[in-house]
Amino acid sequence: MVKTKEVKQQQQDLSVFGQLAEHNHEKVVFCHDQDTGLKAIIAVHSTVLGPALGGTRMWGYASEAEALEDVLRLSRGMTYKAAISGLNIGGGKAVIIGDAAKDKSEALFRKFGRFIKNLNGCFVTAEDIGTTSKDMEYIRMETEHVAGMPETMGGGGDPSPVMAYGTYMGIKAAAKKAFGTDSLEGKKIAVQGVGNAGAFLVELLAKENTKVFITDIYADRLRDVSSKYGAQVVGMDEIYDLDVDIFSPCGLGGTINDKTINRLKCRVIAGSANNQLRDETVHGQALLERGIYYAPDFLINAGGLINVYAELVGYNRERAYAQAERIYGYTLDLLQKAEEEGIPTQQAAIRMAEKRIAEISKLKSTY
């Protein structure tokens, strides 16, 4: 039977190699172990700048296809995050398919550690959603290629404070562009999600005499942050309609979408959440048309990666903060460049990251 071009294209889209080819992933490793019930996928997107660093996420994916899609998307994001932050590491990610509340064991993580060991350093992992520093300790028993260890073990500990500081720097840079000053005094800021990252961010914002509005799924978190920093609690849906200067997504991704964009009254969107734009192309363009300055998520939330990277080169907290502070300059340059080129900021950020990777790959061709 002769296949039409359309059928061939569909098959290409569905095949694993087709998916790898789409964003030029280097390697994907499927890890399986009958005894421990381990089912994991490690995706190495790029090692041009250095070993691929990325967290291991444990999640109850509805299907294996969904897990593969997630790990491919997240590993590519890590490449861009590292590249645009000037770090000498590549991008990777791992997912373990399972329920983090029920399916964990020492044996499972140690087996997973052995799979990482077999990659001989081309992939280094750390904590992510569904995994903890305890899990990383189990992985560490089998391989040295793991970061994000507790401070007591010579690691950098919780990356959230450094991450929140970098995000704060990104917010100030975007404010400078939108309002002509990076002082946030008197600015009205809506923070969506006050978990680890959001709470540290609100603390920094409160020090600048801002008016902060917060929302979250968990009432106890809201009570805590509100009483500590005087932030005003609002409803989860209400947050999109507030008359604020800055909207800061710090919960889950995808909250900038067709349903929310037209409701936003802010001039700046800048927060810590990964993948804030539901559709990078469509919603990046929509924000440009609405005159909203969007500080790309992977640029301004890179402080977490910076903190983990710092461990690989000998952890020093002051140096990690100093590196996170550079996000201010990077964001300002990026917003300027996007404006000059008349393109969405997310697109400009991807171009900037890809440019660095292309340039460094050329110099590495000389032995």
Ligand X SMILES: NC(=O)c1ccc[n+]([C@@H]2O[C@H](COP(=O)([O-])OP(=O)(O)OC[C@H]3O[C@@H](n4cnc5c(N)ncnc54)[C@H](O)[C@@H]3O)[C@@H](O)[C@H]2O)c1
Q: By C-beta, is 273 or 277 nearer to ligand X?
A: 273
Neighbours of 327 (CB within 10 A): 28
120 CB contacts (<8 Å, ≥6 apart)? none
Query: 3-class DSSP state for residue 240?
Result: helix
Q: How far is the CB of 120 from ligand X (least distance, A)?
A: 27
Write down the catalytic residue from 5, 27, 81, 93. Answer: 93
Is 130 annotated among the ligand-binding residues? no
Is 209 annotated among the ligand-binding residues? no
R_g of the chain computed on alpha carbons: 21
Give the span between the Cα atoms of 118 and 126, in whole angstroms.
Answer: 17
Q: How far is the CB of 196 from ligand X (least distance, A)?
A: 4
Query: 3-class DSSP state for residue 52?
Result: strand
Q: How far is the CB of 105 from ligand X (least distance, A)?
A: 23
Q: By C-beta, is 133 or 196 nearer to ligand X?
A: 196
In the annotation, is 3 catalytic?
Answer: no
Which structure tokens are listed for 53?
A: 């660093």
Q: How far is the CB of 32 from ligand X (least distance, A)?
A: 27
Contacts 24+ apart (CB under 8 A), 312-316: 312/53, 312/89, 312/124, 312/147, 315/154, 315/155, 315/156
Q: How far is the CB of 336 from ligand X (least distance, A)?
A: 24
CB 78 within 8 A of CB 92: yes
Q: Which residue ranges make up the site for ligand X (CB under 6 A)?
A: 159-160, 163, 192-193, 195-198, 215-218, 221, 236, 250-253, 255, 272-274, 301, 304
Is 254 annotated among the ligand-binding residues? no
Q: By C-beta, is 196 or 331 nearer to ligand X?
A: 196
What is the widest separation between alpha-carbon atoms in the chain?
70
Is 196 annotated among the ligand-binding residues? yes
Torsion angle in degrees (nearest 10) through CA of 346, 350, 356, 357 = 160
DSSP 8-state secondary structure symbol assigned to residue 122: S
Q: By C-beta, is 2 or 219 nearer to ligand X?
A: 219
Q: By C-beta, is 75 or 215 nearer to ligand X?
A: 215
DSSP 8-state secondary structure symbol assigned to residue 238: G
Residue 366 half-sphere exposure toward CB, CA atoms < 13 A? 4
Give the span between the Cα atoms of 210 and 231, in whole angstroms.
Answer: 9
Q: How far is the CB of 161 from ligand X (least distance, A)?
A: 9
Is 193 annotated among the ligand-binding residues? yes
Query: 3-class DSSP state for residue 181?
Result: coil
Please classify residue 308 by burial: count the beta carbons closer than 10 Å to its beta carbon, then call 0-12 exposed, 13-18 middle and 19+ buried.
Answer: buried
Query: CA end-to-end span of the chain, whole Å?
Result: 49
Q: By C-beta, is 47 or 272 nearer to ligand X?
A: 272
Is 195 annotated among the ligand-binding residues? yes
CB 230 within 8 A of CB 250: no
Q: Name the binding residues for NAD(+).
A: 193-198
Q: Which are the catalytic amino acids?
A: 93
Q: Name the binding residues.
A: 193-198
